[in-house]
Amino acid sequence: MRILVADDDNSLCSTIKRGLEENAFAVDCVHNGQDALHYAFSAPYDLIILDVMMPLKSGFEVCRELRLEKNDTPVLMLTARDDIEDRVKGLDLGADDYLVKPFDFNELQARIRALLRRKSTRRSPKLELGDLALNTVTREVTWQGSQIDLTTKEFVILKYLMSNPDAVITRRMIESHAWDYDFDSVSNLVDVYIRRIRQKIDPEAGKRIISTIRGAGYRMQKG
């Protein structure tokens, strides 16, 4: 999943980015409201974290413009002021939650999980395709009942494919979902990760479950 963090505090942005990347998120950081809008309209984010006070455009302005353009990505707003009027204003403009600085990173993670659960319409955290099963909460992956050890990035890619069974997923779609803007799209890293996942599932079965669509991308087979 991909998250946009907009805050003019470079140190805080780096801390949030590092912590979220350790928990399987791809994270882009920007430091003013104008860039936040540009990024938000340029890529499919699962969640946006907005600081209220930013140069060029405030978090309030960014949130308002997102909602005016029918962008319904969940928004978590950060503020240094524990002021009820600020919180009411943000929520009225379309924000989904509020967090007052300074905050504990565990609370930030909990609020992110809650917003993503609210966004999701899937009742069960378990994804299953034939003998392959993936639990989005525990991050356990099994093939024919045996546990498979995946790296964080392998898990993110496999989860994305399993969430879109029988759909052709392009390399660019995988890049946008699993990496941030700094990713070198001319590399063959996506193919490398797909090959690793196939090998971990089973060298032959993995090729059948994750099929290559020549000139297009990959497709996760239901059957």
Which sign, positive or negative, has the C-alpha torsion 210, 215, 217, 223? negative
The yes-or-no verdict on residue 182 having pLDDT over 90 is: no
CA dist 143 and 146 (Å) reads: 5
- Cα angle: 106, vertex 42, 181; to 5 degrees: 60
> Domain containing 54 — which CATH number?
3.40.50.2300
Alpha-carbon torsion angle 42, 43, 46, 51, nearest 10: -40
Both 10 and 114 in one domain: the answer is yes
Residue range 36-74, pLDDT digits in tens: 999 998 888 889 999 999 999 999 999 999 999 888 899
Q: Which helix (H) or strand (E) is 83 found in, with range?
A: none
Q: Which of 94, 119, 144 is the last residue of a domain?
A: 119
Both 91 and 22 in one domain: the answer is yes
What percent of the chain has pLDDT above 70?
Answer: 91
Q: Note the pLDDT of residue 64.
A: 93
Q: Which of 62, 92, 119 is the last residue of a domain?
A: 119
Task: Please state the pTM of the whole predicted model.
Answer: 0.62
The yes-or-no verdict on residue 117 having pLDDT over 90 is: no
In terms of residue numbers, what domain contains 54?
A: 2-119
The yes-or-no verdict on residue 184 having pLDDT over 80 is: no
Locate 96 and state its tokens.
Answer: 């989904």
More confident residue, 106 or 173: 106
Q: Note the pLDDT of residue 57.
A: 93
Q: Which of 119, 153, 184 is the last residue of a domain?
A: 119
Both 111 and 6 in one domain: the answer is yes
